[in-house]
Amino acid sequence: MKAKQILTVLLLVLGLSACSNRFVYNNLDWLVHWYLDDYIELNKVQKQQFDEVFSKWHQWHRAEELPRYQTQLTELRTEIASGPMQAEQFIAHMDRGWLHFVRLREHVADDIIWLAKQASDEQIAEFFQALEEKNAKREKAYLAMTTAEQRQDVLDDVEENLSGYFGRLSAEQKGYVAEYADTMHANFLAWLEYRRLWQQSALALLNQRNTSEDFATRFKQLLVSPESLQTLQYQQHRTDNRQAYAQLLAKVQQSLSAKQQKRVASELDDLIEMLANLAP
């Protein structure tokens, strides 16, 4: 998971407004179909099967996970209001945010395995071909940029994320972002290599889904522990980048103006209220 996300992975909420996030969450069923259409064409029976499984996922997530998000955001809101936070506090929230994602993928793994067994060989091939086309497109776009353009892309992305919660950044705060961009590891190509290795491993297993007795066990392991395919260097770079991002957040938070402090408090309050309204 990239360290670019603001404050914590909890603000998964895609950088949208609370109102937009509420719309997205309540309409995830058709939004996921819209997304899947780029990768695989399901027949009528498969769509019905997926809808039934996804409905269970959504109900579980609304009942079990959203209260966890609300609790953590409330704690984060309190910590921010209590005074300057240290990088270690942001790291702790990132760790907790990551666990939300871990629980999600573990919860859906068995259903994904079942759904995969309903797919034809042609659909499996179509799906992974579409994934690789996306990989190639991203790789081409990245390699077409100069080092300076890649750095500027990081700057723009981080500034956009931060300003979405803190408001317009000061020159000092932009300087902190520039320091972060200069010290972080450029990890995109390593991430892409890892992504391709995971996809190749998944495809090899799925091609054995109807013949291998231990397919379910091996595929579930790949779904819930994909990090096992990451190189030690890639993992270290991710750790370093996350630490650098936490330090950036600490510096920015300590330099907030009164107006910015009010802005981030309001943003967090809106998210907490949204989660309370979404929970059953």
pLDDT, tens digit, for every residue of 219-233?
999 999 999 999 999
Report how far residue 123's alpha carbon sits from residue 44's, in angstroms, rounded to the nearest whole number: 14
The answer to whether the beta carbons of residues 70 and 278 sit under 8 Å apart is no
Spell out the alpha helix ranges (H) of the chain. Answer: 18-26, 28-36, 44-60, 66-81, 87-117, 121-143, 147-166, 171-183, 188-206, 215-224, 232-254, 258-278
Identity of the highest mean pLDDT range in 10-14, 22-26, 152-156 = 152-156
Task: Say what the pLDDT of residue 169 is.
Answer: 96
Q: Give yes or no for residue 7 having a pLDDT over 90.
A: no
For residue range 171-221, list pLDDT tens digits in order: 999 999 999 999 999 999 999 999 999 999 999 999 999 999 999 999 999
Return the structure tokens found at 197: 């290795």
Distances (CA, A) of 154 to 3, 82, 150, 231, 245: 11, 30, 6, 23, 12
More confident residue, 164 or 2: 164
pLDDT at 155: 94
Taking 70 as the threshold, does the pLDDT of residue 2 lie above it?
no
How far is it, in rounded angstroms, from Cα 25 to Cα 33?
14
d(C-alpha 77, C-alpha 88), whole Å: 16
Give the confidence band of 21 by pLDDT, cuts at 50, 70, 90. low
For residue 140 the two structure tokens come to: 């081409």
Task: Give me the pLDDT at residue 277, please.
Answer: 86
pLDDT band of residue 11 (cuts 50, 70, 90) is very low
Alpha-carbon distance 10 to 71, whole Å?
11
Among candidates 11, 244, 202, which has minimal Cα distance to 109? 202
Q: Residue ranges per domain, the chain?
A: 9-278
The per-residue pLDDT for range 51-102, each reduced to its tens digit, is 999 899 889 988 998 899 889 889 999 998 898 899 999 999 989 888 888 8
Mean pLDDT of the chain: 87
